[in-house]
Amino acid sequence: MYFLYLLYGMKAALNKSIALLTAIGVSCCLLLASAGCATSGKSNQIEPAAGMDSQLAPPSFAPVTFSHPISPIGDVVRLLGEQTTGGLVLMSGLEERAGANFDFRNTPYQEVVAQLAGAIECDYLHTPYYYMILPSEYALLQELTINEYLDSRHSGLTASVAFGAKTELYNVLAALGESLDITIIADNFLAEAHCGEMFLSDAPFPVILEAILRSTRLTPDSFAVENTPEYIFIHTTQNNDTDSRLLNRRPLTPEQQSLLDRIVSVSLPNENTAAQTPFTAAPIALRDALLPLTEQLGIEIVAHRRLADIPINPCLMKNVRLETALNLLLRQWPLPDFGFEIQENRILLREK
């Protein structure tokens, strides 16, 4: 069992405007007892949100004692995660919505979620491990599942996590991989999506990954998951080329094959990205990635000049074959037009 304790990512600036998602106000269909929950000011007008239908049992979390003045709901969820246990996910894009003046005293957890969701005119869903606040028109996110795609090496992991709103998916996956000692990569179409504010306590890794992807608003039919004992690769359904990007497989000398089979770890944009600058790394041009790749792979990596400006998202690969590392690097680009060629004493990245 692994336990992951992650600090919050980038905090949203309160004075920065973002595009707000439109939500349909829902009338209350689930009456919750008001005993133990005292509210004042704006919160007196809050109608508790409706819970979406589910065949899954709700989580069993301890009652909540918590207060917070009127502020963006993302700040409320962040502080709730710092002061209590449990699990709550806020869909990306909702974090700037104005909350209310909350004051909970030994209040059932579900009632707390219903009040938070009602304050921003949203609904909520539950799983056995967490609640999620989202607009009713995003109910399709309930159908997003991950566990069926993961092999036993990954599905058995357990963690506790906390991520801040607007953290890019590539940074979340790199930090998660660093802490659990696994490789999780997303292609460029997906990796720049922003995660929502969230915290989960002692949850299975598939549940955590599922919650992360739900928070980014990815629909179940927009992506696929490729999983081997070496890695997890999350990609758009259009980016489904699984062939190796090695362009001169025949003939390979025994030395070249041994090179491809070497076990390596790669961290971009530099070797200490995930450990020293979690959640803050930014994409770099391929030309700037060649030196760290050379240093970490132990062989010179070069590229055709026409590829120099291709963006490389921050990523972490742990204990994979060198061939796997190069394949994942190139497959992040959602085009099958690029590969790598083993030359004497170096590897060339080029167009096919």
Which tens digit of pLDDT belongs to each residue from 287-312? 999 999 999 999 999 999 999 999 99
Task: Report whether pLDDT(105) > 70.
Answer: yes
Tokens coding 170:
């590539």
Most confident of 16-30, 123-137, 324-338: 123-137
- Which residues pair with residue 153 across a beta bridge? none
| The pLDDT of residue 273 | 59
C-alpha distances in angstroms, 135 versus 109, 123, 155, 175? 19, 6, 29, 28
Taking residues 161-171, what's their average pLDDT? 95
d(CA 180, CA 47): 40
pTM for this predicted structure: 0.83
Percent of the residues in the chain that have a pLDDT greater than 70, as a whole number: 85
**Which pLDDT band holds residue 21 (cuts at 50, 70, 90)?**
very low
What's the 3-state SS for the chain?
A: CCCCCCCCCCCCCCCCCCCCCCCCCCCCCCCCCCCCECCCHHHHHCCCCCECCCCCCCCCCCCEEEEECCCEHHHHHHHHHHHCCCEEEECCCCCCCECCCEEEEEECHHHHHHHHHHHCCCEEEECCCCEEEECHHHHHHHHCCCHHHCCHHHHCCEEEEEECCCCEHHHHHHHHHHHHCCCEEECHHHHCCECCCEEEEEEEHHHHHHHHHHHCCCCCCCEEEEECCCCEEEEECCCCCCCCCECCCCCCCHHHHHHHCCEEEEEECCCCHHHHCCCCCCCEEHHHHHHHHHHHHCCEEEECHHHCCCEECCEEEEEEEHHHHHHHHHHCCCCCCEEEEEECCEEEEEEC
| The pLDDT of residue 240 | 81
Taking residues 34-46, what's their average pLDDT? 40
d(CA 2, CA 244): 32
| The pLDDT of residue 49 | 87
Task: Report whether pLDDT(10) > 70.
Answer: no
Query: Are 254 and 207 within 8 A, CB to CB?
Result: no
| The pLDDT of residue 12 | 35
| The pLDDT of residue 281 | 87
| The pLDDT of residue 29 | 29
| The pLDDT of residue 285 | 95
Higher pLDDT, 251 or 1: 251
Taking residues 71-85, what's their average pLDDT? 96
| The pLDDT of residue 46 | 76
| The pLDDT of residue 96 | 97
Task: Report whether pLDDT(58) > 50.
Answer: yes
| The pLDDT of residue 241 | 83
| Residue 182 φ then ψ, to 5° | -135, 170
**Which pLDDT band holds residue 13 (cuts at 50, 70, 90)?**
very low
CB neighbour list of residue 35: distance below 8 Å, 6 or more residues apart = none
Point out the least confidently predicted range of 30-44, 105-119, 235-249, 251-265: 30-44
Taking residues 210-223, what's their average pLDDT? 95
**Which pLDDT band holds residue 258 (cuts at 50, 70, 90)?**
very high
Task: Report whether pLDDT(35) > 80.
Answer: no
Query: Are 198 and 133 within 8 A, CB to CB?
Result: no
| The pLDDT of residue 44 | 47
| The pLDDT of residue 336 | 80
| The pLDDT of residue 201 | 93
Q: Write down the CATH number for the domain with range 254-351.
A: 3.55.50.30
| The pLDDT of residue 45 | 57
| Residue 130 φ then ψ, to 5° | -165, 165
Mean pLDDT over the full length of the chain? 85
Diameter of the chain measured on Cα atoms? 75
Question: For the chain, what are the domain ranges?
Answer: 1-10+38-240, 254-351
| The pLDDT of residue 55 | 82
| 316: nearest Cα among 267, 351, 279, 349 | 267
